[in-house]
Structure 1
Amino acid sequence: MLHTTPPAESSAGAALGIELVVLDMAGTTVSDDGVVETAFQRAAERTGVAAHLPWADALDYVRRTMGMSKIDVFTHLADGNREAAARATAAFETAYGELIADGGVTEIPGAETVIRELQAGGVQVALTTGFAPVTRDAILGALGWLDLVDIALSPIDAGRGRPAPDLVLAAALRARVSAMSAVAVLGDTASDVRSGRSAGAGLVVGVLSGAHDRFLLEEAGADAVLEDVTALPMLLTGRVDAR
């Protein structure tokens, strides 16, 4: 695990040489409060994609695969039927949009402040998600974040969704970082952590504000596990000893 020592006054990212921070959305910077699960349930009910499974089993799979591309999750639930998965994914995006319209999306308290602090310290910030661009942008619009972050990516923008490394690598390419060791990845799921590890990011961090617990995040390979995103600047400036 990562161990740091207090440096002299230092901007966020400087102590560890970080040039880009890749942040997950739902559960990491955007409060979930069960919205993703509710959208999955509405999509399943409207399309029958998981009708062959007990709902408890389907929901367990959804929870275990939080952070992955939604069409990949629905493809599994549909026993590999990509057409059925595509219909279910569209229904999910519609349902999530309904929940956004009902005020179901808020930031993780302090997330915007952290993003601005990172940028003020010369660190670029990318938001990545398993949502389609239309849903991603609806969330950003609802939060007033459309002009906040430097990069926002969905699986279709990068190739494959998490846990593949594509989203992190695409963000690094767009940010023109000097090396992957200058990239930090932060997310609330094992898929987020595995994506960062597979991409070769210099720092991969889990947070406990979303879907997965400390055990799952550490098992996936997290260098550090924090309570939430607000502890990230302290970690990047070496003012916290993370285990």
Structure 2
Amino acid sequence: MKKLEAVIFDWAGTTVDYGCFAPVQAFAEVFKAFGIEPTMEEVREPMGMLKRDHIKTMLAMPRIRTLWEEKYGRPSGEADIDSLYQMFEGKLMSILENFTDIKPGVLETVKILREKGISIGSTTGYTDGMMEIVVKKAEEHGYKPDAWFSPDSTNKLGRPYPYMIYRNMEAFAVSSADGVVKVGDTVSDIKEGKSAGVFSIGIIEGSSEMGLSREEYDSLTGEEKSRRAALVTAKYAEAGADAVIHNMWDLIPLLKNIFIIE
């Protein structure tokens, strides 16, 4: 087994913002302002990407593309993407601080990893400006990774490109990708991890892929929780995930079976 050197977490939906609702709310409101009402599935499908790329991906979806052309009489272009993104950024910045509560098990898991000398890194689909808000509020709640990098740090090359993970690895001077783990709550997170050649883990509860608030999830029957978990697991598996965990409490036991943790 290889010695574990660093664990790199995503932010919204993985360590903060149970259900990843801040960007979802902002994306939905922006498209509605432009006369297009997206479904929650359409909003969440590109989750984890650089936010401008997320908007571009949504505009290319067949149903949304058709609605746009019917409304505006032409296909969407780069200027439209810029207009949507400008509005999105303002809306998200205005609500971000309300979506920074730490997810269950995160603080305890990070404490154990640090006690073992393992570095805590992070990547995100947010910009540096957005992260200034998120990082500050998360620290007030007790969570502060050793490093974080946004696509602003990698020439706008966000997920699924591996460069944000590489920046973390460089910051921690890890000996190889074999000793690094990526944990995230979207297909984009898994693809990012696989692109970087690191062990990639998807988390189910509170994830964007699950798309439920904690209250909604807790209200489900055991059978329905299992059914929805299976659907999320299948998405992660299709993206190439090396493992899937139900919640953060499952991370340490999993890692101890795969890596040397001193």
Same topology, TM > 0.5: yes
> For the residues of structure 2 that align with 1:171 and 1:44, how far apart are their CA atoms?
34
Show the counterpart of 1:73.
Answer: 54
- Structure 2 residue corresponding to 1:61, chosen from 37, 42, 64: 42
1: CA distance, partners of 2:186 / 2:114: 24
The residue number in structure 1 matching 2:150 is: 154
* Code of the aligned partner of 2:247: D
CA distance in 2, matches of 1:178, 1:239: 17
TM-score relative to the length of structure 1: 0.80
**8 Å contact from structure 1 (residues 75, 84) kept in 2:** no
Q: CA deviation at 1:239?
A: 8.7
Deviations 1:135-176 (A, max 9, x none): 112112112269821111111112311111122122112221
Q: Which moved more, 1:70-79 or 1:115-124?
A: 70-79
Tell me which protein shows more helix as a share of its residues: 2
Aligned ranges for residues 23-172 of structure 1 at < 5 Å? 23-33=9-19, 34-46=21-33, 48=34, 51=35, 53-56=36-39, 59-78=40-59, 81-101=77-97, 103-144=98-139, 148-159=144-155, 160-172=157-169
Which amino acid in the other structure matches residue 29 of structure 2? Answer: R
* Number of the residue aligned with 1:5: none
Query: Residue type matched to 2:170 in 1?
Result: L
Alignment partner of 1:21 is 2:10: no
Check conservation: 1:28, 1:187, Cα contact below 8 A: yes
Tell me the distance in 2 between the aligned counterparts of 1:214 and 1:147: 27
Cα contact 2:204–2:247 (8 A) shared by 1: yes
Q: Tell me what 1:179 maps to.
A: 176
Return the alpha-carbon distance in structure 2 between the equivalents of residues 227 and 16 of structure 1: 24
Change beyond 3 A, Cα 1:174–1:84:
farther
Post-superposition offset of 1:74: 1.4
| Percent of aligned pairs with the same amino acid | 26
- SS of equivalent to 2:244: strand
Question: Counterpart of 2:215?
Answer: none
Measured at CA, do residues 239 and 222 of structure 1 come closer, stay the same or move farther in structure 2, by a change above 3 Å?
closer
- Which shifted more, 187-196 or 226-235? 226-235
Partner Cα separation in structure 2 for residue 35 and residue 23 of structure 1: 18
Between the aligned partners of 1:114 and 1:85, the Cα distance in structure 2 is 39
Q: TM-score, normalised by structure 2?
A: 0.75
Taking the aligned partners of 2:139 and 2:202, their CA distance within structure 1 comes to 25
- Partners of 2:237 and 2:57 lie apart in 1 by 25
Moved more, 172-181 or 107-116: 107-116
Instruction: Please tell me whether the aligned partners of residues 16 and 237 of structure 1 are also in contact (alpha carbons under 8 angstroms).
Output: no
- What are the superposed Cα offsets for residues 22-70 of structure 1, whole Å, 9 maximum, x if unpaired? 1011111112443221111223344x2xx4x5523xx433211111111
Q: CA RMSD in A?
A: 2.3
Equivalent residue, structure 1, for 2:250 = 231
- Distance apart, 1:191 and its partner CA: 0.9
217-226 or 151-160, larger mean C-alpha shift: 151-160
Aligned residues: 218
- Unpaired runs of at least 5, structure 2: 61-75, 210-231
Higher mean displacement: 135-144 or 176-185: 135-144
Tell me by how many angstroms 1:16 deviates.
4.2
Q: Which amino acid aligns with 2:49?
A: M
Aligned mates of 1:150, 1:22 — CA distance in 2: 10
